[in-house]
Amino acid sequence: MTTGFELDGNAMAGDLREIFAVDLTEAVATCAGCGRPSAVAALLVWGPAPGLVARCPGCEDVVLRLVRAPGRAWLDVRGAVSLRIALPEESVAEGPA
């Protein structure tokens, strides 16, 4: 059992928002280790910045890793099978009546 983490994915919101066009902390990441879906905000995060490691709250496998440096960022997502990102419903264009 790994202990000693201090934060959760809520604290990654700012760095992820610089990379993605949407708020990624609301996205649901499915853990490649155990298959458990979790909001990115609910992942357990070890720091300190600029290198953050986000682990699954179920099995503690690494789901995301984010390293921020001046002018660039590395995002390692190999611990996630998928990221489900909610998008606003597209308004269906109405044809001529």
- Footprint of other proteins (CB under 8 A): 5-11, 13-14, 17-18, 23, 25-26, 39-42, 44, 47-50
Nearer to other proteins, 47 or 92 (CB): 47
In the complex, least distance from residue 93 CB atom to other proteins, rounded to whole angstroms: 27
Question: In the chain, which ranges are E strands?
Answer: 7-8, 28-31, 37-39, 44-46, 51-55, 62-69, 72-76, 80-84
Helices then strands, counting H and E runs in the chain, come out as: 1, 8
In the complex, least distance from residue 40 CB atom to other proteins, rounded to whole angstroms: 8
In the complex, least distance from residue 66 CB atom to other proteins, rounded to whole angstroms: 13
